[in-house]
Amino acid sequence: MVSGNWLRKQKRSDLVLLLRQSMVGWSAQDYHSVVHLPEDYAVLDLSGGTWTPPNTEYSVGKYDEVRPNLYNTELFGGTRLIHMGIDIGGPVGTPCMAFADGEVSHFGYNPEPGDYGNVVITMHDIDGTPVWALYGHMDAASIEGKTVGQKVNAGEEIAWFGARHENGGWEPHLHFQLSLVEPETHDLPGVVAPEDREQALLDYPDPRLVLGPLY
């Protein structure tokens, strides 16, 4: 039986989440596509802990999905398995665009096996609130020449999908993640442990707020 105390606590948690995210005027503007997806793409279900190649060229991996057994390198400590971004899979070299006007805040290379590889993080003003967007698993050449503070326009190419040898060892894809917390470096926790999920949902909003209803 679910206790009344648990229900009250859960309701308070949900209210805090709604209040925090309602501070951002997500609907105040239109957003550009981050990746030009065709009409036919697969929506992956990785909750079973296995990855099977989709039968479409492009695919989408879900936000706030529990993914057991997929994050097995030392980086994840055996406990981080809840995905805090949206994955868009496709061919190496697929371009990624800025979803809104903004600037480059961080970029660099995360070399650990299973990590992002090459990353660009942009900062945007969304109705007066700063929002950061991480583009992970990129091609090394696509982040060359970037500078902190470099202006980007909505629809401008940010980077492109990298191959396994430079993207952390994954099939080519974009990990796209929003953050209401300013990153300290070219990194954000893209996967969190169950005990950190509640805070992560506050800090890292659903990317569909700017990507649209991908699933």
pLDDT of residue 3: 37
State percent of the chain over pLDDT 90: 80
pLDDT in tens, 76-114: 888 899 999 999 999 999 999 999 999 999 999 999 999
Residue 91: which of 120, 138, 57, 134 has the closest Cα? 57
- Residues 140-161 as b/e (b if ≥16 CB within 10 A, e otherwise) read eebbeeeeeeeebebeeebbbb
Return the higher-pLDDT residue of 44 and 12: 44
What's 73's domain CATH number? Answer: 2.70.70.10
pLDDT of residue 81: 94
The Cβ of residue 78 has, within 10 Å, a number of other Cβ atoms equal to 10
Number of structural domains the chain divides into: 1
Domain hosting residue 16, numbered range: 4-211
pLDDT of residue 25: 87
Is 88 in contact with 58 (CB distance < 8 Å)? yes
pLDDT in tens, 118-166: 999 999 999 999 999 999 999 999 999 999 999 999 999 999 999 999 9
pLDDT in tens, 154-181: 999 999 999 999 999 999 999 999 999 9
Helix (H/G/I), strand (E/B), else coil: 120: strand
Strand order, beta sheet including 65-66: 65-66, 82-83, 191-192
pLDDT in tens, 63-76: 999 999 888 888 88
Distance, CA of 132 to CA of 46 (rounded, Å): 26
pLDDT of residue 108: 98
Distance, CA of 105 to CA of 182 (rounded, Å): 9
pLDDT of residue 33: 97
pLDDT of residue 4: 41
**For residue 177, with 0-12 CB atoms within 10 Å meaning exposed, 13-18 middle and 19 or more buried, which class applies?**
buried
